[in-house]
Amino acid sequence: MVDIELLEYLEGFVSEDRRARFLQVLSQRTRFLTVAMEDVFQLHNTSAVLRSCEVFGVQELHLIEDRFGRRTDSKIAMGAQQWVDLHRYPSAAACVSELKAKGYQIVATTPEANACTLENFRQGLPTALFFGTEKEGLSPEIMAAADSRLSIPMVGFTESLNISVAAAIILYTLTDRLRKSDLPWALSENEILEKRLDWTKKSIKSVNGIIGRYLAG
């Protein structure tokens, strides 16, 4: 549980406008929809998807880093890494297992013609969208574990989109649709308090010293 007194104390060190902005942004945040990326090689793609998650209100991004290690660039993410929760996994199996245990349906994004189109995708369950590498796409392991497959309809000669572009299109469409639905997409009261405390701490210089003085007093 969040220490409310500590939160209120720390909020005294940030402006009223910033506190109001936190509340505004958190009112639009969701964990009902989340994103997982598998072994994306191009550094800018992971960082761009992270930025899209932040822009469209997706609170968590899951990174499978089996083959290429850590793949984020703070310059491209434009500070989004402060506001989105990153979870890292050593394997696809570990990520899928964790998300399924939390109640997410696993949705593999793919250019396959027989996949469900974005327009027809139903959002009745908490959903984890999986995006794969630039050349190979998602691994057979994730494709086999997926509950469904999702594609963006295309009418040109090009058969696929850059991963960061595809993620932005899908996230904009699904988050907009989600907020217009009756589904329980919003963060809980306690989740909002946790993020208020987290973001407030990240907004204060020398916050550890301030917390130390608070605890000592």
pLDDT above 50 (res 160): yes
pLDDT above 80 (res 80): no
How high is the pLDDT of residue 143? 96
Measured distance CA(50)–CA(86) in Å, rounded: 9
Residue 198 lies in a domain: no
pLDDT above 80 (res 188): yes
Residue 149 lies in a domain: yes
Residue 18 lies in a domain: no
Q: In which band, very low, low, confident or very high, does the pLDDT at 42 lie, cut at 50, 70 and 90?
A: low
> Degrees (nearest 5) of the Cα angle 170, 141, 36?
35
- Give the closest residue to 29 by CA, choosing from 100, 83, 70, 66: 83
How high is the pLDDT of residue 156? 87
Residue 104 lies in a domain: yes
Mean pLDDT of 108-122: 93
Q: In which band, very low, low, confident or very high, does the pLDDT at 41 lie, cut at 50, 70 and 90?
A: low
How high is the pLDDT of residue 66? 66
Residue 56 lies in a domain: yes
Least confident of 23-32, 97-106, 111-120, 188-197: 111-120
* DSSP secondary structure letter of residue 58: B
Q: Structure tokens of 157? A: 């000669």
Q: What ranges in the chain are assigned the alpha helix state H?
A: 4-11, 16-26, 43-55, 74-77, 92-101, 140-145, 163-179, 189-202, 207-216
Residue 205 lies in a domain: no
Residue 141 lies in a domain: yes
How high is the pLDDT of residue 43? 67
CATH, residue 77:
3.40.1280.10
pLDDT above 50 (res 171): yes
What's the mean pLDDT when you consider all of the chain?
Answer: 91
How high is the pLDDT of residue 35? 98
How high is the pLDDT of residue 70? 53
The structural domain count of the chain equals: 1
What residues form DSSP beta bridges with 108?
130, 149
Residue 8 lies in a domain: no
How high is the pLDDT of residue 45? 82
Range of the domain at 157: 33-193
How high is the pLDDT of residue 20? 98
Mean pLDDT of 97-101: 98
How high is the pLDDT of residue 161? 84
Q: In this predicted model, what pLDDT tens digit does every residue of 57-73 receive, in sequence order?
A: 999 999 998 654 454 54
